[in-house]
Amino acid sequence: GRDLTGDGNSIKHGEIDETPTTITTKSGDEERSTTYKIKFVRQASSNANLANIFINGNTLSNFNPELTNYSVELPYGTTSTPVVTAEQAEDGQLVEITQPTSTTGSASIKVTAPDKKATKTYTIAFNVSKLSDNTLTDILINGESLLGFTPNQTIYRVSLPTSTTTMPTVEAISPYPIGAQTIEYIEPATIDGGTYQIKVSTPGNPTPKIYKLTFKLEASSYSYLKSLQMGENLITDFMP
């Protein structure tokens, strides 16, 4: 081969992926020349991994680029179909997303590497969580809210007038649509000293929460007037 270090030869270096390197050689009599152009390009990446996956804008929990199958549980009551987006790990990757069609559907993400050969497909299956909340928002005794009721307190003492001869009407108030919670009422055999039970369970929490109302017949300690009237005139601004 020819030695390119002679005076009649030249090399003009180009840039990778941009301009070619130009080599010009001249004959010994310098009457003829030949030009060679060599373009250097970087080898395309075979990386078909994603950097991240997002569900409704939130990072997919426990995402690992090497793992391709995921199951996502949406909160109870979700009715909107989730939206899946993805973040490329490298420029030049082609990302194609097939969105789910319902809250219990599946999404797929196909990633083609920059080399246009390597591919990877991620699959996300969705489902909606079962209701697990077994608390009530109120308990009504003969149509009136149970005094001092809070959802997480389960034991109550209920004072009833000494003249009470029939079992009080008890109604559990659920924060959810009818049928979402299973509510069971268990009456005591007797009123005075008897404990009325309300069992609340849900599909996601079959162990019931049991509210216990112990009835006690006793004279009222309430000594306030409801209103005060003189003749036919009701005294305004009266405070019991």
Q: What is the mean pLDDT of residues 106-124?
A: 97
pTM for the whole structure: 0.65
The confidence score (pLDDT) of residue 7 equals: 61
The string of DSSP codes covering 27-74 is -TTSS-EEEEEE---PPPP----EEEEEETTEEPTT--TT--EEEEEE
Between strands 144-145 and 138-141, the pairing is antiparallel
> Is 2's pLDDT higher than 60?
no
* Average pLDDT over all residues of the chain: 91
> Is 6's pLDDT higher than 80?
no
Long-range contacts of 186-191 (CB under 8 A, 24+ apart): 188/215, 191/160, 191/164, 191/165, 191/166, 191/167, 191/215, 191/217
> Is 8's pLDDT higher than 70?
no
Strand spans (E) along the chain: 10-12, 21-26, 33-38, 50-55, 58-59, 69-74, 84-88, 94-98, 106-112, 119-128, 138-141, 144-145, 155-160, 170-173, 182-186, 195-202, 205-217, 229-230, 233-234
Lowest mean pLDDT: which of 38-42, 151-155, 166-170? 38-42
